[in-house]
Chain A
Amino acid sequence: MSEPSPILEDLETLQRDTIGYFLRAANPDNGLISDSSREGAPCSIAATGLGLAAYVVGAERGLLPRREAAARTLTALRFFRNSPQGEEPDATGHRGFYYHFLDMKTGRRVWQCELSMIDSAILIAGALTSGMYFSATTDDELEIRELAAFLYERIDWPWATADGGVVRMGWKSGSGFLSYGWEGYSEALLLYVLGLGSPTHPLPEESYGAWTGSYQWENLYDIEFLFAAPLFTHQLSHVWIDFRGIQDPFMREKGSDYFENSRRATEIQRQYALRNPLRFKGYAENCWGVTAGLGPGFSKQRLEGGIERQFYGYVARGVPFGPDDGTLAPWAVAASLPFAPEAVLVALRHVREVYPESLSRHGLLTSFNPSFDNGDGVGRGWLAPEHHGLDQGPVALMIENHRSGLLWRLMRECPAIVTGLRRAGFRKGWLRSRNL
């Protein structure tokens, strides 16, 4: 028997370790998954949604028995079905949406966080994935399908739109909707597809055009692409949706598609790191990945050359105009695997060789910053002390999409996704042959 390819072996190991995060991070009583590996972290509904999809991949890869994956999924879906919805400030959700962060035990809102439309969309995407995968006629799997449909159909998408039709970013009991909506291309692509696909409370079709009207098509470094600064915005929707060959009106006009766009965005990240305009340590064409995530914390340091550096905590880092404080996120590199496999594998190998401390037995730590002086005299910079569910999910799931296309295959048959894409004006490619 031939030796397994070292690259494949690396990816398998990384995927297995990353899925392990979700197995450990779940509360077995209610299925909620914690936002991070930090002690006392609350539940993140986005991490929970990614976790539901991770169970599917785990079951498919034999990392956990199908029966166990189904049981974990059912626990979570039952919790959300039964959880309190309403305007009370400590409910779990309202109008079918859910608060961004929940108490791990009670499942009620914490941190005075917002009712989050995008994180609810990620949760529902995970639920729909479960509904598509668990297709057996057992009682458990039948109930999974029913609950996934129930939770999806309960969401009142139009309620979350502003005048002019764009979907708002969040809502709070007492102060109402956050004053700004989604502007410019972002991970909200998933949200709009799901919202448009609802059989019960669909978004108006014009809401999608209102959103894409804020797009910016840019020529940067001689690469033409639909601009969004942080790398994860080009990845999250692709965890579930196969955008290869299908085009909405915007992409038809530009002669491209969102998958190709993500490939170009990945290349722009490489080019930015190669240029390294702010002259951070470690940046190179094989060491990149600037995205939203944890950093060394809000502080200033005067480093070599007399340059004063401002560092940040959790912030939406992006290229080419920042914010960029020298923090790199190898998880975001891994999540670009389907778009640029050669470049990603080279970069992952580099991280493993040069920054081995960023890789733990639980997968990739969320970020590191070689430019930060942590005072240890060794000069290795700062390393995030934790894993984040929102980062681990795309790693495990995009590795799977690269290896087998599992999630894309499942969701190409999902009526919500197909309907949503068609109502958004997507045509061609695999959509042609769908009769849903």
Chain B
Amino acid sequence: MNDTGYVESRTPAPPAGTHVAEVLPNDFRDAGLLANVRPADWTNPQPARSYNLVVVGAGTAGLVTAAGAAALGAKVALVEKNLLGGDCLNFGCVPSKALLRAARFHTDLRHAPRFAGSAPVPSEPDFAGAMERMRRLRAHISRHDSAKRFQALGVDVFLGNGTFADRRTIEVAGASLRFQKAVIATGSRAAHPPIPGFEAVTYLTNETVFNLTERPRRLLVVGGGPLGCEMAQAFARLGSEVVIAGQDPYFLPGEERDAAEILADALRRDGIEVRLNTEVTGVSQRDGEKHVRLVNDNQETTVVVDEILAAVGRVPNVEGLNLEAAGVEYDHEHGVRVNDYLQTSNRRIYAAGDVALERKYTHMADATARIVIQNALFWGRKKLSSLTIPWCTYTDPEIAHVGLYVHECWERGFPIKTFTVPMSDVDRAVLDGEEGGFVKIHVRDGTDTILGATIVARHAGEMINEISLAMVAGIGLKTVSRVIHSYPTQAEAIRKAGDAYNRTRLSPLLKALSRRWLAWSR
């Protein structure tokens, strides 16, 4: 193991200039992680004469594709140049949600007087302890993504940089892999801020922030999207002084405005200095401190911080694959071009996950991997556009959405009605002290057909799945109201929206007839 924590193996190191993220600080828990996702003693297998499927990239999309295809009897090769598990396991969902949970614990502790009277409150959150917990849990979860497990599933795992040699061949670490079909699942990486000065200072991205062992005293988060908001809240709750700067007037551009405003309020209550409509125009480093220039409404200010986290978006990993040799069209902004069947311009080659999709979520990677298995191997005609896709920002409260937004409904000419249930009307939310937020369900006007929904609640990510299920199964609000929900639960908010819909069907005439009947029958 070398000084950077990069595990040397008998597989060749990535070529110079290749983007490679590292896992630090490489204590015994990280050794456990690396043993699963980049084993030092790994030997690439002898390549088969031909593969049904070669998958380039072993993040979520690649792993699900490989495992699914192998389970169906396909001969599969999986190529990974860095760490199996990709961003989700190593630098994304897994570490961030572990950190957020620790952060939430400390916030609940701060609010102890609301529940337990005079419970003792620690003077300072244990940042290092929270990171250690994260690394322990990540290593534990990494068993599912390990090279050995996939080998046991019958997948030929090649560690090295895969490149297309021609329209039907991928080369990796000196081996040639001939394929019937291939899947590009190389994912995405953090975009680097095109801001003067950033090239000369050290700053964090999602690939390095989880390597921290000490809390940064002062942190600037650049970017008001999901990652920026989540990490700003996590670090603030774990004791950092946090400033978050976003270019747009609201957080989570594209999200419901009410949701964005509730989130901004929540971040302020966590002590975060919120700077919206703010551009970062420059940065310099002096005596270990970073001086960052911010401009809002023509007014320039400078903040001095110890660390900067850049969360300004993601770019697809399309470099270094020699896609031209394979006849695969792509661009550096949108990634690999695919049709609705996830097929590229080379009909033998598909793409799944972040490298080809606008919505870069782990569950999208999973869902598109399943489409690709059917379409690539079994003449399937599954479409990307047929998917009902939820997503969630895991701040506190969480903000989850599925289906269409109101403006999208109007753009498509659907008159709609929104049934709104404040969480403060839900007994369990009140009892839990978690009554900030709402459930909003959009139905086509005159029907109970659910077109979309937004939920803001502590457990919005859990709750949105009920609505996704309803939409996929073609269940409308009328039926939702018939489904018995356990009392008291926060998910009852969804049933309340169904009940509100039913009450709109009780017209004045029906009410009058009902009253007359009941009066007569008394």
Q: Does residue B411 face the partner (Cβ distance < 8 Å to A)?
A: yes
Cα distance, A408 to B419, chains bound together (Å): 34
- Please give the number of chain A residues whose Cβ is less than 8 angstroms from any Cβ of chain B in the complex: 34
> Is B424's CB under 8 angstroms from A322's CB?
no
Within 8 A of B (CB), among A88-108: none
Task: Across the interface, name the chain A residue whose C-beta is closest to B258.
Answer: A321
Cα distance, A275 to B111, chains bound together (Å): 24
Q: Does residue B358 face the partner (Cβ distance < 8 Å to A)?
A: no
Task: Across the interface, name the chain A residue whose C-beta is closest to B112.
Answer: A306
Q: Does residue A307 face the partner (Cβ distance < 8 Å to B)?
A: yes
Residue from B265, B415, B416 within 8 A of A323 (CB atoms): B265
Within 8 A of B (CB), among A156-207: 172, 174-175, 179-180, 183-184
Within 8 A of A (CB), among B100-140: 111, 113-114, 117
Which residues on B sit within 8 Å (CB–CB) of A213? 407, 410-411
A179 and B277 in contact, given A218-B419, A224-B417 (Cβ under 8 angstroms): yes
Task: Across the interface, name the chain B residue whose C-beta is closest to A172.
Answer: B298
> Is B415's CB under 8 angstroms from A253's CB?
yes
> Is B261's CB under 8 angstroms from A217's CB?
no
- From residue A371, how far is it (CB to closest CB) to chain B in Å? 16
Within 8 A of A (CB), among B264-282: 265, 268-269, 277
Which residues on B sit within 8 Å (CB–CB) of A322? 261-262, 265
Which residues on A sit within 8 Å (CB–CB) of B258? 229, 321
> Is B269's CB under 8 angstroms from A172's CB?
no
Which residues on B sit within 8 Å (CB–CB) of A321? 258, 261-262, 422, 437-438
> Is B297's CB under 8 angstroms from A175's CB?
yes
Which residues on B sit within 8 Å (CB–CB) of A180? 249
Within 8 A of A (CB), among B313-336: none
> Is B425's CB under 8 angstroms from A275's CB?
yes
> Is B268's CB under 8 angstroms from A310's CB?
yes
Residue from A216, A222, A277, A308 within 8 A of B500 (CB atoms): A222
A218 and B420 in contact, given A179-B248, A179-B277, A310-B268 (Cβ under 8 angstroms): yes
How would residues 297 to 326 of chain A score, 1 for a CB under 8 Å from any chain B CB and 0 otherwise? 000001001111010000000001111000
Cα distance, A307 to B436, chains bound together (Å): 14
> Is A310's CB under 8 angstroms from B422's CB?
no
Within 8 A of A (CB), among B431-471: 435, 437-438, 440, 445
Cα distance, A214 to B411, chains bound together (Å): 10
Residue from A172, A179, A219, A275 within 8 A of B504 (CB atoms): A219
- From residue A242, how far is it (CB to closest CB) to chain B in Å? 26
Q: Does residue B406 face the partner (Cβ distance < 8 Å to A)?
A: yes
> Is B416's CB under 8 angstroms from A219's CB?
no
Which residues on B sit within 8 Å (CB–CB) of A214? 406-407, 410
Which residues on A sit within 8 Å (CB–CB) of B418? 216-219, 227
Q: Does residue B286 face the partner (Cβ distance < 8 Å to A)?
A: no
Cα distance, A213 to B406, chains bound together (Å): 9
Q: Does residue B49 face the partner (Cβ distance < 8 Å to A)?
A: no
Cα distance, A215 to B437, chains bound together (Å): 20
Task: Across the interface, name the chain B residue whose C-beta is closest to A184.
Answer: B257
Interface footprint category on B: 35 or more
Cα distance, A217 to B407, chains bound together (Å): 11
Q: Does residue A63 face the partner (Cβ distance < 8 Å to B)?
A: no
Task: Across the interface, name the chain A residue whose C-beta is closest to B501.
Answer: A219
Residue from A275, A305, A310 within 8 A of B114 (CB atoms): A305
Cα distance, A222 to B277, chains bound together (Å): 36
Cα distance, A213 to B414, chains bound together (Å): 11
Cα distance, A93 to B479, chains bound together (Å): 57
> Is A175's CB under 8 angstroms from B298's CB?
yes
Q: Does residue B503 face the partner (Cβ distance < 8 Å to A)?
A: yes
- From residue B431, how far is it (CB to closest CB) to chain A in Å? 13
- From residue A154, how far is it (CB to closest CB) to chain B in Å? 26
Q: Does residue A142 face the partner (Cβ distance < 8 Å to B)?
A: no
Cα distance, A224 to B257, chains bound together (Å): 19
> Is A277's CB under 8 angstroms from B422's CB?
yes
Q: Does residue A251 face the partner (Cβ distance < 8 Å to B)?
A: no
Which residues on B sit within 8 Å (CB–CB) of A7? none
Q: Does residue A346 face the partner (Cβ distance < 8 Å to B)?
A: no
Which residues on A sit within 8 Å (CB–CB) of B117? 306
Q: Does residue A220 face the partner (Cβ distance < 8 Å to B)?
A: yes
Task: Across the interface, name the chain A residue whose C-beta is closest to B440.
Answer: A218
Task: Across the interface, name the chain A residue whose C-beta is closest to B409.
Answer: A213
> Is B249's CB under 8 angstroms from A224's CB?
no
Task: Across the interface, name the chain A residue whose C-beta is closest to B268.
Answer: A310
Residue from A179, A220, A310 within 8 A of B269 (CB atoms): A310
> Is B424's CB under 8 angstroms from A277's CB?
yes
Which of A183, A216, A220, A302 has the most chain B CB within a 10 Å cutoff? Answer: A216
> Is B114's CB under 8 angstroms from A219's CB?
no
> Is B406's CB under 8 angstroms from A216's CB?
yes
Which residues on B sit within 8 Å (CB–CB) of A275? 424-425
Task: Across the interface, name the chain A residue whose C-beta is closest to B296.
Answer: A175
Cα distance, A147 to B370, chains bound together (Å): 69
Cα distance, A253 to B63, chains bound together (Å): 49
Cα distance, A222 to B505, chains bound together (Å): 12
- From residue A391, how far is it (CB to closest CB) to chain B in Å? 23
- From residue A427, how far is it (CB to closest CB) to chain B in Å? 18
- From residue A101, how far is it (CB to closest CB) to chain B in Å? 14
- From residue B291, how far is it (CB to closest CB) to chain A in Å? 23
Which residues on A sit within 8 Å (CB–CB) of B406? 214-216
> Is B297's CB under 8 angstroms from A172's CB?
yes
Cα distance, A175 to B249, chains bound together (Å): 15
Cα distance, A386 to B297, chains bound together (Å): 28
Cα distance, A404 to B449, chains bound together (Å): 46
> Is A219's CB under 8 angstroms from B419's CB?
yes
Which residues on A sit within 8 Å (CB–CB) of B249? 179-180
Task: Across the interface, name the chain B residue whose C-beta is closest to A316.
Answer: B261
Which residues on A sit within 8 Å (CB–CB) of B261? 321-323
Which residues on A sit within 8 Å (CB–CB) of B248? 179
Task: Across the interface, name the chain A residue whose C-beta is closest to B416.
Answer: A217
Which residues on A sit within 8 Å (CB–CB) of B262? 321-322
How would residues 3 to 41 of chain A score, 1 for a CB under 8 Å from any chain B CB and 0 otherwise? 000000000000000000000000000000000000000
Residue from A183, A253, A302 within 8 A of B257 (CB atoms): A183
Cα distance, A322 to B265, chains bound together (Å): 9
How would residues 297 to 318 of chain B score, 1 for a CB under 8 Å from any chain A CB and 0 otherwise? 1100000000000000000000
- From residue B300, how far is it (CB to closest CB) to chain A in Å? 12
Which residues on B sit within 8 Å (CB–CB) of A227? 418, 420
Which residues on B sit within 8 Å (CB–CB) of A306? 111, 113-114, 117
- From residue B55, how far is it (CB to closest CB) to chain A in Å? 42
Cα distance, A307 to B111, chains bound together (Å): 8
- From residue B298, how far is it (CB to closest CB) to chain A in Å? 5
Which residues on B sit within 8 Å (CB–CB) of A308? 111, 269
Cα distance, A183 to B269, chains bound together (Å): 26
> Is B417's CB under 8 angstroms from A217's CB?
yes
> Is B500's CB under 8 angstroms from A219's CB?
yes
How would residues 479 to 522 of chain B score, 1 for a CB under 8 Å from any chain A CB and 0 otherwise? 00000000000000000000011011000000000000000000
Which residues on A sit within 8 Å (CB–CB) of B410? 213-215
Which residues on A sit within 8 Å (CB–CB) of B411? 213
> Is A320's CB under 8 angstroms from B422's CB?
yes
Cα distance, A247 to B501, chains bound together (Å): 25
> Is A307's CB under 8 angstroms from B419's CB?
no
Residue from A215, A277, A323 within 8 A of B435 (CB atoms): A277
- From residue B505, how far is it (CB to closest CB) to chain A in Å? 12
How would residues 277 to 292 of chain A score, 1 for a CB under 8 Å from any chain B CB and 0 otherwise? 1100000000000000
Cα distance, A179 to B297, chains bound together (Å): 10
The 6 A-B pairs with the shortest beta carbon distances in the complex, nearest first, are: A277-B424, A306-B113, A213-B410, A306-B114, A218-B418, A220-B420
> 6 A-B pairs, CB-CB below 8 angstroms?
A179-B248, A180-B249, A213-B407, A214-B406, A222-B500, A321-B258
Given A213-B410, A220-B422, 14 other A-B contacts at CB below 8 A? A112-B297, A174-B298, A175-B297, A213-B411, A224-B504, A275-B425, A277-B424, A302-B113, A310-B265, A310-B269, A320-B424, A322-B262, A323-B261, A323-B265
Binding site for A on B (CB under 8 A): 111, 113-114, 117, 248-249, 257-258, 261-262, 265, 268-269, 277, 297-298, 406-407, 410-411, 415-420, 422, 424-425, 435, 437-438, 440, 445, 500-501, 503-504
